[in-house]
Amino acid sequence: MSSVSIKEVAARAGVSPGTVSNVLNRPEKVAAATRERVEQAIRDLGFVRHGSASSLRAGHSRTVGLSVIDIGNPFFTDVAAGVEEVASERGYAVILGNSSGDRLKEERNLLVFAEQRVRGVLITPSGPDLTRLGQLKERGINVVLVDHPAERSDQCSVAVDDVVGGSTAVAHLLEADPGRIAYVTGPLAVRQCADRLIGAGQALAAAGRDPARALEEIEMSAMNARSGQQAAEKLIAEGRLPDAVFCANDLLALGMLRGLLQAGVRVPEDVSLIGYDDIDFASASAVSLSSIRQPTHRLGRVATELLLDECDNPASHAHQQIMFQPELIVRESTR
């Protein structure tokens, strides 16, 4: 219960509290001898700086807020791991908020972040309304958008090109010259799903096909394995199996794979299948899954570096909207 304060350290080292503070924050400003003495006192007493007092006086904390849509999704987990890594390296603490796709919860998270006076916020917005984020900015809290390109140039963002990703996936499927292709997706209101569809259309057009006829959209309400399997069962029941399937994420694809195999459909001989995200489990399934890899971990790392740079060097900081390119990973599920 005994909390050692800077005063006690000062007393033991025979200096003033101000000097201890200098040792902590600007070691070069204090003579080597005294510094050593203070550091010894700190060790002896087991002093640890009171973060709240520090940020109260200094006007800013050493924490960042991270708000993700679904911490249970391996995609966001990887992002979070990258964020935590960089933050930890630079002595920042990460406050985690899980919005579950719920606007209200997202608002509540942002409020908590504001109360904590976080230095900055990393957020994968759960909807298209970004006005709230502008308000944070007015409060002096920097914001970096994750997996969402910024619309304004006074803001940093890190994203992956979903149009290219969709196009790459379908172009790969087209190599085997399939007849009909199905696009199994989550709600098209989700930007990522919509962009991947646009990309798919582009690839078809580039191959001289009419997207409206060659591509069938199957929109599911959830983006999990169960939905994927339902989609498979539906296609089979209706007897209109396509030659190739592009799923908007790997969870859908894994469900689809299972549904197909259970019905005796061979993958990739009868149906070619490609997913999106390249989660770890994509390579572990019975027929390993071709997929579109995103630099998930880097997404988190770079976003955090951008944010911390903006915080620590506000003068020299140049806002950047970074767009990564996805990568095709070919495995067994495609011809």
Chain contacts with a second copy (rule: CB under 8 A): 1-3, 48-53, 55-56, 61, 63, 66, 71-72, 74, 77-78, 80-81, 84-85, 88, 91, 93-98, 105, 108-109, 111-117, 138-140, 224-225, 229, 251, 254-255, 257-258, 261, 280-281, 283-288
Instruction: Find the shortest distance in angstroms from Cβ 108 to a second copy.
Output: 7
Name the token pair of 173: 């499927």
Smaller CB separation from a second copy, 150 or 257? 257
> What is the closest distance, in whole angstroms, from the C-beta atom of residue 35 to DNA in the complex?
7
- Rounded least distance, CB 310 to DNA, Å: 18
Closest contact distance (angstroms) between CB of 64 and DNA is: 18
Q: What does residue 94 show for φ and ψ, rounded to 5 degrees?
A: -105, 125
The gap from C-alpha 162 to its chain's centroid, in whole angstroms, comes to 14
User: How is residue 3 annotated by DSSP?
Assistant: P
Residue closer to a second copy (CB basis): 67 or 192: 67
Closest CA to 180 of 255, 100, 241, 112: 241
Q: Which is nearer to a second copy, 215 or 232 (CB)?
A: 232
Say if residue 281 is exposed, middle or buried (CB neighbours under 10 Å; 0-12, 13-18, 19+): middle
Residues 6 or more apart from 216 whose CB is under 8 A from it?
180, 181, 182, 183, 242
Binding to DNA by residue 140, rule CB under 7 A? no
Considering the rule CB under 7 A, would residue 30 count as an interface residue with DNA?
yes
Among 11, 39, 45, 49, binds DNA (CB under 7 A): 49
**Residue 39 DSSP SS3:** helix
Find out whether 261 and 325 touch, Cβ atoms under 8 Å. no
Q: Per rule CB under 7 A, is residue 47 in the interface with DNA?
A: yes
The C-alpha atoms of residue 254 and residue 273 are separated, in whole angstroms, by: 10
Q: Does 212 bind DNA (CB under 7 A)?
A: no
Q: CA end-to-end span of the chain, whole Å?
A: 65
Q: How many residues bind DNA (CB under 7 A)?
A: 32
Please identify, using beta-carbon distances, which residue of 22 and 157 lies nearer to DNA: 22
Shortest distance in whole angstroms from residue 283 CB to a second copy: 7
Classify residue 238 as exposed, middle or buried by CB count within 10 Å of its CB (0-12, 13-18, 19+): exposed
d(CA 144, CA 156): 5
Which tokens belong to 63? 């924490």
53 touches DNA (CB under 7 A): yes
Q: Is 321 in the site for DNA (CB under 7 A)?
A: no
Binding region for DNA (CB under 7 A): 3-7, 10, 14-22, 24-25, 29-31, 33-35, 47, 49-50, 53-54, 56-59
